[in-house]
Chain A
Amino acid sequence: MQVKPGSRWKSAVDSTEVVVVRPPKGDVSLECGGHPMVALGEAAPEGLTISPDFSGGTSVGKRYVDADSGIELLGSKAGPGSLSVDGRAATLKDAKPLPASD
């Protein structure tokens, strides 16, 4: 699938939603709970369940990265499924917040 920066995706198996902060280098399959995500606003296939291998959960406001493709995602809605890219588990990106400056 083509994954553009700023595009929003929802899980086919749970409540997880993400927004693409940095796009991947090429086409990738973006998955949650082990199944491909769908563009927000489109209908998800029915009858799928979360794969136990991808059930660690996704948090809202956390960033997730896949080093191979360079993609960076932001969790915009939490869910029990975890994110993966072409089957590779996405990893949580360490964020070091700054002291409030605004």
Chain B
Amino acid sequence: MQTHLLLEMAAEAIGDREGYTTVEGGLSYAEAFRRAKGGANFLSRFEGDKVVFLGHNGPAFPLALYAAGLAGRPFVPLNYRLADADLRKLVARTAPSVLIADGTMATRVHGVEGVRVVTREAFEAACVDDDNCCAELPFVDQDIAILLFTSGTTGDPKAAVLRHGNLTSYVISTVEFMGAGEDETALVSVPPYHIAGIAAVLTGTYSGRRIAYLHSFAPDAWVQLAHAERVTHAMVVPTMLSRILDAMELLKIELPHLRAVSYGGGRMPAAVIERAMQKLPNVDFVNAYGLTETSSTIAVLGPEDHRQAFASPDEKVRARLGSVGRPLPSLELEIRGPDGKTVLGPRESGEIYVRGEQVAGEYLHKKVLSDDGWFATNDAGWVDEDGYLFVEGRLDDVIVRGGENISPGEIEDVLRQHPSVVDVAVYGLPDDQWGEKVGCSIVCADPRPETAELAQWVQTRLRSTKTPESWDFRAELPYNETGKLLRRVLKVEMTKDIAA
């Protein structure tokens, strides 16, 4: 099943309803479908076999995504925050292609061989051209819907392949068609080149929930837009949430229409989610865990789970606030040992494996699914007795000290509970005696606590082997633009420091 059928169905069933909006204006589903067909005819006239998108959020993004599908060309949204040299390298890898760029970005990607650049304005004009909208589309047999370059914190970015079947399977098995009320609006501020941005277009269209786009995230603008558009639903990454709460207090804006906030894309500090639940008691919170390679969400901690955990006197139930909930019923999940075969039991930490129709597990020219369909996520985690999944971070980030596996997340969580600690990153550093030792980079409020006090804090709550031996105090920690902590950057810097 092709992704653009989702839009066709919405156009047929609820065509008059507004589907996508920004400050510049809105677009109904019927009109969006008409324009996407126009865009597809326009794109089909260019040489090339891919449609690249370099731009901010807005209705042109879903139009370009659906138009690419209708034209039978994989859609490749690119990260406009990359440095010019890196961006042009990725653009070159998409050749032969046609590239739609925001007017302000077009000059950055001109002159790459095999890549024809058109401006967003030209594309949008072509979408409304009657000749384009009415023309028959050529049939193209193409089952790749999306190519998404992974952030590439190690080595060159890889192009993850998402097929139409993976994405539509995710949508129709998790979302009720037209399940959203006419008063529902989702605020989308994650960028188009993030899997959550893509999933939001597809699930928003299928549920009939209007999307209000924020061009790019800024806390004040987010709160103001949420208020002005009477936003009911929103997806944020953890670093956005605390900034949004700050902005609400600073601007003195309440969000009475907000009903549901989902978060994902990184570890949520317990203090932040607890503050959010206190400040917004009527909001349903959902923690969603997923990867690009799995077409977005694979496990969900729902609103009831949040409330139960929040109110429970039972340590085990309360701890679930730090879990990502239970796997979707439409897929299978296992925790496996280092051999990649042995399936581990409750509370045993290993690598998270998933299998299901939404799991693509494929890069361009390289399928990484096992013969029986399992995908190794490269994330470490464990499952409790009731099936709640706890993600410990990237497998490569797990610290191996004298044969003991230590999860950075666990130590970070403990340090974050210290009243003076603002932010913290834990990583492994080379050590002659133990192979690796625990290091941390930490941001503290004034007055800065003594190292000994912080070490004592960890030692009494965990144990001495998990107590950091290297302390690096900083003003702030590095994050990428989607809110992922760049733990590896710190690790490399600090490893150099040791060597020097």
Contact = CB atoms under 8 A, between A and B. Distances in A.
Interface of A: 5-6, 8, 19-21, 60-63, 74, 76-78, 95-102
Given A21-B1, A60-B9, A77-B12, A102 B297 contact: yes
B204 interface: yes
Interface of B: 1-2, 5, 8-9, 12-13, 143, 164-165, 168-169, 172-179, 186, 196, 199-200, 202-204, 206-207, 209, 233, 235, 260, 262, 264, 284, 286, 288, 296-297, 300, 302-303, 328-329
13 contacts: A60-B12, A61-B9, A61-B178, A61-B206, A77-B9, A95-B176, A96-B329, A97-B174, A99-B286, A100-B209, A101-B235, A102-B199, A102-B204
B300 A97 contact: no
B172 A21 contact: yes
B389 to A, nearest CB: 14
Contact of B262 (A62, A63, A77, A99): A99
A77 B10 CA distance: 10
A98 B328 contact: yes
Contacts of B9: 60-61, 76-77
A11 to B, nearest CB: 15
Considering residues A8, A19, A74, A99, which has the most beta carbons from chain B within 10 angstroms of its beta carbon?
A99
B77 to A, nearest CB: 15
A100 B203 contact: yes
Contacts of A19: 1, 5
B139 to A, nearest CB: 9
B176 A61 contact: yes
Contact of A62 (B173, B177, B209, B300): B177
B203 A102 contact: yes
Contacts of A6: 1-2, 143, 164-165
Given A6-B1, A101-B288, A60 B235 contact: no
Query: Which 8 pairs from chain A and chain B are nearest by CB?
Result: A61-B177, A101-B288, A102-B199, A97-B176, A102-B200, A101-B297, A99-B286, A101-B262
A74 B191 CA distance: 30
